[in-house]
Amino acid sequence: MNGEVIILTGPPASGKTTVADLLASTASTPTVHLTTDQFYRAIKTGFIPPYLPESQQQNEVVVDAIVATVSTFSRGGYDVVVDGIVGPWFLPPFRKALENLSYVVLRPSLPTTLARAKERVGDELKDVDAITGLHGAFADLGDFEPHAIDTGHLDAEQTAAEVRCLLAAGDHRLD
C-alpha cells in the first residue's frame, strides 16, 4: 500500500521547510520529511545554482533522484512530505511515478517573502534577485492556481493547520 505524498512548495522563504517539518513530525502515520535542498547540496563539484538557465540538465537529474527516493518511501508505506521549489514545470515526473499525490503552494507576497529571507541564517538563499525571480515563477500557476494559498498573514503553526485542512478535504490532490 503506497503512502500519501505531499509536495509543499513555493518561493524561497515562504515557510516550506518549517511547515513541512511540522506536518511530518505531528503526523499520525509513519511519515518522512524530504527536503529537496539536500539533493542539490549533495553535488560537490560542478554545482550550478538551480535558478540559473544553464542548470536545466542538473535540475532534471536531481528531480529524477528525488522522485525515485519519494517513490521508494511511498511504496514502503510511508507518507512523504516533500519540501522544495517544485514548480508545475517539475510535476510531470512526480505525476508519472506516484499515486496519492497532493500539491500545495505556499505563496506569501513578495515583500513578505523578502522580509523573511533577510532573517535567514546559514547558507539559505538570500539573493534578492534570485528570490524575486523565483517568486515571479509562482505568480501565475495556470491550472495549478487553486493549489496556492496566501500564507503572508499566517505563522508556521497556522499555515500547517491550514494545509492539514486542505489535505483532509482533498482539495489539492493531483489525479
| DSSP conformation letters of 80-145 | EEEES---GGGHHHHHHH-SSEEEEEE---HHHHHHHHHT--TTS---HHHHHHHHHHTT--GGGG
Residue 91: predicted pLDDT: 96
Q: Closest by alpha carbon to 13, among 170, 97, 138, 101?
A: 138
Residue 146: predicted pLDDT: 94
β-pair type (173-174, 101-106): antiparallel
Residue type, 163: V
DSSP 33: E
More confident residue, 10 or 13: 10
Residue 125: predicted pLDDT: 64
Locate 171 and state its grid cell. 482539495
**What mean pLDDT is predicted for residues 4-14?**
93
Q: What's the domain range around 83?
A: 5-174
Each as own residue / partner, the long-range contacts of residues 37-43 (CB below 8 Å, 24 or more positions apart, any chain) are 37/84, 39/65, 39/66, 39/69
Beta carbons of 103 and 144 less than 8 angstroms apart: yes
DSSP 147: G
Residue 114: predicted pLDDT: 81
- Whether the per-residue pLDDT at 4 is higher than 90: the answer is yes
Query: The domain spanning residue 83 has which CATH number?
Result: 3.40.50.300
pLDDT tens-digit series, residues 26-60: 999 999 999 999 999 999 999 999 988 999 999 99
Q: How many domains does the chain have?
A: 1
- Whether the per-residue pLDDT at 122 is higher than 70: the answer is no
- Whether the per-residue pLDDT at 21 is higher than 70: the answer is yes
